[in-house]
Amino acid sequence: MEDDLITMDDLSNAEILSLLDDAEILLPVAHGETYLPLLQGRLLANMFFEPSTRTRMSFETAMKRLGGDVVNLGDVRSSSAVKGETLYDTMRMVDGYCDIAALRHPRQGAAQYAADACSISIMNGGDGAGHHPTQTLLDLFTIRQAHGKLSGLKVALVGDLRYGRTVHSLSHALARFECELIFISPAQLSMPEEILADLALHGTKMTESEDLYGAIPEVDVIYMTRIQKERFPDEDEYAKVAGIYTLNAADLAGARAEMIVLHPLPRIEEIHPDVDSTPHARYFEQAFNGVVTRMALMCRLLGVDVPGGGA
């Protein structure tokens, strides 16, 4: 595979499946049941120029569970970025300090830009409204865990499809595994044209709709997303669509038994807490799977074989 993970296009389908296999093997390590210091002596730079809880913590947890260590950018307000340092200069410095870096940045294209500046591997942890491929890996892992396969599933992606980077990366990946996609959003938050065009080029079976509840009985996965207040130009525009889709346990009465509900978290109002106790809720397992998939990815990028794995 490539030296960096910037978009899901950096991975072939076979590489994705092999990474998920490695992640499966590493589950007891991620749970702390086994100690396997495959990355002892390795140092991860966590470069988060935007707020993050799960992504940053799961990268850190993944590295430490494998015996490695982590240095953090820390609060971006106290970093040299506020003094006007370019991303290029910051990343050249990190290139000397660490063995691998995870990057989140408000500007789209930042991860590829950093990868061009560095010799160490860069993992894109989200760049503006661009890509978030490690989220996609953990989403795919969770879907495969529940359904035993990735191909041929029917998946509804719901909410903010315009600005939500997780759904952009995930749609591309699911399309590659010949899943059928239903894009459910208000018109002003619909999937960007260029992504629909890309998916059409791959012959993806897909539909656009505003009706979440009608789709529930026919899908294998419902992928909910938060309507992101911070991506709206003003409060009024946000108010028009906030809370438009909420899932309650009662809404899932007609769902297939094996249907799963996912959410990249944090959730605000999209999923009522009463869904948590249904067999459909998988979003907390999904968040945990961020640790195990990032463990597998870091091993792969650092050239370390997972014992019994697919590398």
Partner 1 sequence: MSAGEMRRVTAINNGTVIDHVPAGAALAVLRMLGISGDRASPISLVMNVPSSKHGRKDIIKVEDRELTQDELDRLALIAPRASVAIIRSYTVAEKREVSLGEELVNIARCTFSNCITTNPREPQDHRLKVVAPDPLELRCRYCGRPQDMAELVENLI
**Can you give the binding site for partner 1, defined by CB under 8 A?**
7, 84, 86-88, 105-110, 112-113, 116-117, 127-131, 194
DSSP letters, 207-250, are EEES-STTTGGG-SEEEE----GGGSSSHHHHHHHTTS--B-GG
- Cα separation, 34 vs 36, in Å, equals 6
- Bridging pattern class, strands 206-209 and 100-105: unpaired
129 versus 304: smaller Cβ distance to partner 1 = 129
Cβ–Cβ < 8 Å for 260, 282: yes
Does the active-site annotation cover 54? yes
* CA nearest neighbour of 275 among 255, 299, 290: 255
Rounded to the nearest angstrom, the gap between the alpha carbon of residue 269 and the centroid of all alpha carbons in its chain is 20
Distance in angstroms (rounded) separating the CA atoms of residues 289 and 297: 12
Query: Which position among 42, 54, 56, 131 bears the catalytic label?
Result: 54
Least distance to partner 1 from the beta carbon of 242, Å? 22
CB of 293 to partner 1, least distance (A): 23
Report the residue number, 42 or 172, with the smaller CB distance to partner 1: 172
Count the Cβ atoms, other than its own, within 10 Å of residue 239.
Answer: 11
83 given a catalytic annotation? yes
Residue 293 annotated among the catalytic residues of the structure: no
- CA 90 to chain CA centroid, Å, is 24
Shortest reach from residue 305's CB to partner 1, in Å: 32
How far apart are CB 165 and partner 1 at their closest, in Å?
11
Let me know the angle formed at the C-alpha of 265 by 211 and 282, rounded to the nearest 5 degrees: 75
Let me know if 56 is a catalytic residue. Answer: no
Nearer to partner 1, 92 or 154 (CB): 92
For partner 1, the closer CB: 77 or 148: 77
Q: Which two tokens stand for residue 140?
A: 């795919």
Q: Shortest distance, CB of residue 43 to partner 1, whole angstroms?
A: 25
Exposed / middle / buried, residue 233 (Cβ in 10 Å: 0-12, 13-18, 19+) = exposed
CB of 4 to partner 1, least distance (A): 13
Marked catalytic residue, from 42, 56, 105, 132: 132
Q: State yes or no: is 229 an active-site residue.
A: no
What is the DSSP-derived secondary structure letter of residue 5?
B
Residue 124 near residue 133, CB atoms below 8 Å:
yes
Dihedral sign computed on CA atoms, order 155, 159, 160, 162: positive
Distances (CA, A) of 192 to 33, 106, 125: 43, 18, 21
Nearer to partner 1, 127 or 220 (CB): 127
Whichever of 61 and 90 has its CB closer to partner 1, that residue is 90
- The catalytic site residues sit at 54-55, 83, 104, 132
